[in-house]
Amino acid sequence: MDNSEINQVTQEYGANEIQVLEGLEAVRKRPGMYISSTGPRGLHHLVYEIVDNAIDEALAGYCDKIEVDILPGEIIRVKDNGRGIPVGIQPKMGIPAVTVVFTVLHAGGKFGNGSYEFSGGLHGVGASVVNALSEWLEVKVSDGKNVYRQRYERGEIKSELEIIGETTKKGTEVLFKADKEIFTETDVYEFEVLETRLREQAFLNAGINIILTDKRNQEPITEHFCYKGGVMSFVEYIHKKRSLDVIHEDIIKFSGSFSDEEHVAYAEIALQYNESYNDLILSFANNMHTTDGGTHEEGFKRALTKVMNEYAKKFNLIKENEKALSGDDVREGLTAVISVKLKEAQFESQTKIKLGNTYIKYFIDKLVSEKLMVYLEENPATARAIIEKSLMASRAREAARKARDLARRKNAMDSASMPGKLADCQSKNPQETEIFIVEGDSAGGSAKGGRDRKIQAILPLWGKMLNVEKARLDRVYGNDKLMPVITALGCGIGEDFDISKLRYNRVIIMADADVDGSHIRTLLLTFFFRFMRPLIEQGHIYIAQPPLFRLTKNKTHIYAFSDSERDRIIEQLGGKCDIQRYKGLGEMDPEQLWETTMNPETRIMLKVEMEDAIAADEIFTILMGDKVEPRREFIEKNAKYAQNLDI
Ligand code: TSJ
């Protein structure tokens, strides 16, 4: 490397921009501090960390194509056509900048201001983290002249940066294999999981090409994502995928930027209304999904409510003496995508992905207020369709209040206000109690017999399934399947929800491992997601895991929870043994149910995460919606894993 190259790198990359914080041993010692988990989710995060770096290069304007390959042997390859990570000597460390990127924690251009205007969130600095957690990692950099290569093993340099060939191209390529010593499983990359995340990134960075290829099998599978329409394409895609009919053709879009002495921000917002009663607002800050919303969402919601009311008043769509539209009213049937890019994004914490920069609220409020009013005035047919829908929502909400009051009065007149079938626990201390929601009377019987009656309550479910998709709140109040759940939990739904009134710390769904069981799980999860969302967010919802088999040899019983576990146990027992397959919970006697599924000391339970509930909600929409075609398509496409999906 000659001096001019070194100078170029030092000037543009800047030694001061690289901060040395910690060694990579720390990452291997406590991986949980740096990635979400050492399970399948963490494994996928490795891929996102690398891809994020390439996307930053695209954001800086130097790259428009990113290829991601899942290769045989649990290897991932990510390749871009950017400038290539600088290979010149980084003066402070005395080693090539690319080596610094992979071997020094928190090193990277992101901490400077340079070309990385809009990055520097929580993500994307993780090349060294991925390196530390990989059995091996190789980087190849093409700078238009040479191809450079370096290899690392578990974060340590295995070969010096060397020139391995000549090229006229530019770009960066990273290959890695996650470390079995760190991850519980390294062979569980899921095409659909990567596909969802990469598609999302393609929506958020309009025009960028992302190509995902699964080369693990004979026939490779490829998906190419490139959306010229950006966030508008995102909204269009959501409506198509969920087969929701829209109430106006055009997708409404705003974008704008904001700057003063201290701040620089840019926002893009797209929205459209559909015929459903639900809303979906997806918000992002610096390409990161802000699952808990934050100031950008707040600003958007405030402006939307304000403008809709102003417009409705101005054109006499609501009368002077009529109630104003509420936020919930104007969001009914809304799908919106909000993407902001800003310098120095603040998030509330590592786990709460919620944007905190207060000025963003005023920026988005102003942007939407100004542009939405103009849009509505220029598109009166669309405006009318939306306002009419909001008015219907408002009336339905009023009807729901009446239905709720009626339900309350009826309840108050009952001798005991709890549902008749509830077998309550003795303890009245919600800190220590749990409730099992069980489908079917025979299973309910076993559960009542087997429980620890001090802290465990049982609620058997009966009655007909409600199609929540087509029901507003007013119908839920009258539903004989869901009302007992609402009453037993005690915390109300929707606007009335009050978590401090929750009567049990853990709400456990216990259903058979068959299609009907899966139905009831999906229904309940969708119901909790739509009407008692904080229960999921705050980790109160669980799914019981009853065994599928009982293996008996010489009078000892071993339970198996999956086919593969059954096979493993049979092998351990040396072949022959008696196998009982449980077709339903009702087949287990109370002692067996207690021992395998209910005993807090020994049971396995799945804690429901928001992602599970979102998936349930999606499935519910598709399975219960009234269009046959998408449902058939969905079932065919997912037949393979719909069985094990087991949400
Ligand atoms: F970091 C990484 F290994 F994860 C990674 C980085 C992985 C992949 C697939 C791509 C990249 C990457 C980094 N692509 N492009 C870049 N660009 C730079 O690192 C770069 C290039 C030039 C300059 C400059 O100022 O001249 C600055 C930077 C940060």
How does pLDDT run across 447-489, given as a tens digit for each residue? 999 999 999 999 998 765 665 555 565 667 667 788 889 999 9
173 included as an active-site residue: no
Angle (nearest 5°) at CA 230 between 76 and 255: 135
Q: Which of 181, 322, 495, 516 is catalytic?
A: 516
Give yes or no for residue 626 having a pLDDT over 80: no
Atom of ligand 1 nearest to the CA of 82: 15
In angstroms, what CA-CA distances link 169 with 67, 69, 373, 473? 15, 20, 48, 59
What global pTM score does this model have?
0.73
Residue with tokens 């690398």: 50
Q: With 0-12 CB in 10 A as exposed, 13-18 as middle and 19+ as buried, what is 629? A: exposed
Q: Count CB neighbours of 638 within 10 A.
A: 14
Q: Are 21 and 105 in contact (CB under 8 A)?
A: yes
Band (116; pLDDT cuts 50, 70, 90): very low
Which has the closest alpha carbon to 288: 228, 367, 352, 362? 352
The predicted-structure confidence for 146-167, as pLDDT tens digits, reads as follows 999 999 999 999 999 999 999 9
**Given 514, 563, 589, 636, the catalytic residue:** 514
3-state SS, one letter per residue, for 305-372: HHHHHHHHHHCCCCCCCCCCCCHHHHHCCEEEEEEEEECCCCECCCCCCCECCHHHHHHHHHHHHHHH
Average pLDDT over residues 607-613: 82
Q: Which of 62-76, 118-132, 335-349, 385-399 has the lowest mean pLDDT?
A: 118-132
Q: At 253, give phi and psi (nearest 5°).
A: -135, 135
Query: For residue 438, how far is the Cα from the chain centroid?
Result: 27
Ligand 1 centroid – CA 57 distance (Å)? 6
The CA 264 to ligand 1 mean position distance, Å, reads 23
Lowest mean per-residue pLDDT among 169-178, 199-208, 214-223, 317-326: 317-326
Q: Which residue type sits at 77?
A: R
Strands 89-90 and 549-553, how do they pair? unpaired
| pLDDT(257) > 90 | yes
Contact criterion met (CB below 8 Å) for 154 and 162: no
Of 460 and 349, the structure prediction assigns the larger pLDDT to 460
Shortest CA distance to 68 belongs to which of 187, 159, 197? 197
80 in catalytic set: no
Average pLDDT value for the chain: 85
Which ligand 1 atom is nearest residue 66's CA?
9
- The ligand 1 site (C-beta within 6 Å) comprises 12-13, 50, 53-54, 57, 78, 80, 82-83, 85-86, 101, 109, 115, 127, 139, 172, 174
Q: How far is the CA of 144 from the centre of ligand 1 (A)?
A: 14
Confidence of residue 525 (pLDDT cuts 50, 70, 90): confident
Spatial distance between the Cα atoms of 551 and 398, rounded to a whole number of angstroms: 56
pLDDT in tens, 307-326: 999 999 999 998 777 889 99
Distance between Cα 64 and ligand 1 center (Å): 13
Q: Which residues, other chains included, contact 601 with Cβ-Cβ below 8 Å and sequence gap of 6+?
A: none
Side-chain half-sphere CA neighbours of 95 within 13 A: 16
- Rounded-to-integer distance, Cα 463 and Cα 441, Å: 11
- How far apart are alpha carbons 400 and 17 in whole angstroms? 57
- The whole-angstrom separation of Cα 424 and Cα 453 is 8
Lowest mean pLDDT among 86-95, 224-233, 264-273, 573-582: 573-582
Distance CA 598, CA 37 (A): 26
Measured between alpha carbons, how far is 328 from 350 in angstroms, rounded to an integer?
A: 29
Q: Kindly calculate the radius of gyration of the chain based on its CA atoms and give it in whole angstroms.
A: 28
Count Cβ atoms within 10 A of the Cβ of residue 346 and give its class: 0-12 exposed, 13-18 middle, 19 or more buried.
Answer: middle
Q: How far is residue 460's CA from residue 442's CA, in Å, rounded to a whole number?
A: 9
Query: What DSSP element (H or E) covers 77?
Result: strand 75-80
C-alpha torsion angle, residues 66, 186, 606, 566 (rounded to 10): 140
Where is mean pLDDT largest: 156-160, 459-463, 517-521, 583-587?
156-160
pLDDT at 240 over 90: yes
User: From CA 507, how far away is CA 310, in angstroms rounded?
Assistant: 43
**CA 1 – CA 86 distance, rounded (Å):** 12
What lies within 8 Å, CB to CB, of 166 at 6+ separation is: 145, 146, 147
Q: How many helices (H) and strands (E) does the chain have?
A: 20, 23
Average pLDDT over residues 55-63: 92
